[in-house]
Chains A and B, each alone.
Chain A
Amino acid sequence: MAANSRYINDSANFNASFYLGVDAIYSNMKFRTNYGSNIFAKATAGINGFVGYMFTDSFGWKWGTKPKRNEKKPRLLMVENMLQDG
């Protein structure tokens, strides 16, 4: 690793490339037309935590998850078409 690197994979920083963090996430997960799009909300927001390790200057692995389930508040809406049968 480059001795003068100032970035997350800098071996002079925390334990040669371990890192962790937290993200605020806005998620856009749409349902297909007639298969839930008119019933369920497509957007949710949440928090994600992660840890990672760099094997080299440029490559590593990362693992992340939300600390708890992101539960969308119930929404109320009117629709004219229900879900199609499977």
Chain B
Amino acid sequence: MASATGNGSVTFISKVQQQHPYLGITSNANFGDEGFLSTLVGVSLSHIHAQYDMVQPKFVMNQYSTFSKTKLVIMARLAIGYKLADHIAIRTFVTWRDTPVFKINSKENVIGKLIKLDNSFNIGLGLLLW
């Protein structure tokens, strides 16, 4: 494990948890023999939990910070699907979420007091059953 160095750098152990249950309005359009295009606009109840530990801080202070917040976030998704069989389709998609609304203060309120998120994008691959 790396340690603090003489040039002012610090070692962190960090982790991020995120959860985005969502509800949205979707629209579909068919193309080709088996393909379909799907869009979704909705909101997600997004929860972000982040924390870090300073392993060997240069200065003597609290080494642990936690950031946690839940917000409603606007989202949009574009998906392209392909029907494999009568009740099965495969799809791939890209999702955007308005996560810049997240500005989270540290619960411990010490070294790092604030984190901010930028826009987030997801890509995915999945199966549809009906």
Contacts and interface: CB of A to CB of B under 8 A. Distances in A.
Given A13-B86, A39-B112, A85-B114, A62 B24 contact: yes
B42 to A, nearest CB: 7
Interface residues of A, number: 60
Contact of B28 (A8, A18, A77, A82): A8
B129 interface: yes
B123 A54 contact: no
A70 B18 contact: yes
A5 B113 CA distance: 55
Interface residues of B, number: 69
A8 B81 contact: yes
Interface string B98-130: 010001010000011111111111111111111
A67 B86 CA distance: 27
B13 interface: yes
A19 B15 CA distance: 34
Contact of A40 (B9, B14, B114, B124): B14
B15 A30 contact: no
B50 A40 contact: yes
B10 A78 contact: yes
A23 B38 CA distance: 15
Contacts of B13: 74-76
